[in-house]
Structure formats: C-alpha cells, structure tokens
Amino acid sequence: MDTRPSLDESDEPHAHESAASDFAAARDALAQAVRVAESALALLRAELRLARSSALMLLWLSFVLVFLGVGAWLATSAAIAVGVYLLSGNLFFGIGSVAVANVVGIVVVLRAMRTCWRDLALPRTRRALSRFGEARA
C-alpha cells in the first residue's frame, strides 16, 4: 500500500499560480513601502523648507525687536512722552503711556517670534514619525 498522496498534474499549475500571487503581493507591499518612504521624505523636505524660512524670519524679527527696543524707544518715545505731557500737564501720564505702547509692541513681536520658533521643531514630521512607530508596534 502506498501512503504517499498521488501527484496529479493539475496540482502543479495551482502551485505556480500561488507562488506568482505571493510574489505579486510582495511586490505590491514593497511598492507601498517605497511610497510611504517617499511621502515621509517629502514631508521632511517641506518642513525643513518651512523651518529654514521660519529661521530667517526669526532672525529678521529679532532685528526688528532690537530696533523697537532701542531706536524707537530713544527717538519716538521721548517725542510722544513730551507731546502727552504738553496735552495733559502730567509728566508721569506721558511717560507711562509711551512705556505701555512700547511693551505692547514688544509683546506683538515676541508672539510672532514664538510662532516661528515652533516651526523649527518640525512638529508635523514628529507626529508622522510617531504614528509610523505606533503603526509598527
């Protein structure tokens, strides 16, 4: 008695089709992995361009901050303080209003700098990489 299964010639084409479909699935998976890698690289490039742009903007805004802190404070603040003093007759009211205006200007510039500083941390790339790490786990 022969216990080996008989080999039909009809089983061979089925085995070849199965192997071909396995290779096709592996090829598709590799293509998808390449697309994911290309997308991640494109995202990183875009964020690096944004970070570079924000770094340059941060540099220019720091120059603006210095200008506001020194130039405008020395030139226009004294003139405005004198004008308010002449209108109100109160020296401290003139000085105080100019100081408040300068502080508001500095706060506006610092908020703009803070927005640019956040872009330098590449938040979108970090989120995408963390999602990729979670998907693999």
pLDDT digits (tens, 9 = 90+) for 76-135: 788 888 898 899 988 888 888 888 988 998 899 999 988 888 888 878 887 887 887 776
pTM comes to: 0.45
Reported as a single tens digit per residue, the pLDDT across 53-92 is: 989 999 999 988 888 778 767 787 888 888 988 999 888 8
Q: What pLDDT shows up at residue 15?
A: 61
d(CA 48, CA 25): 34
Query: Pick the residue with more confidence: 15 or 36?
Result: 36
- Maximum C-alpha span of the chain: 123
pLDDT of 31 higher than 80: yes
Distances, alpha carbon 88 to alpha carbons 45, 74, 82, 96, in Å: 57, 21, 10, 12
* pLDDT, position 98: 83
pLDDT surpassing 80 at residue 14:
no
Q: Is 122 left (phi over 0), alpha (psi -120 to 50) or beta?
A: left
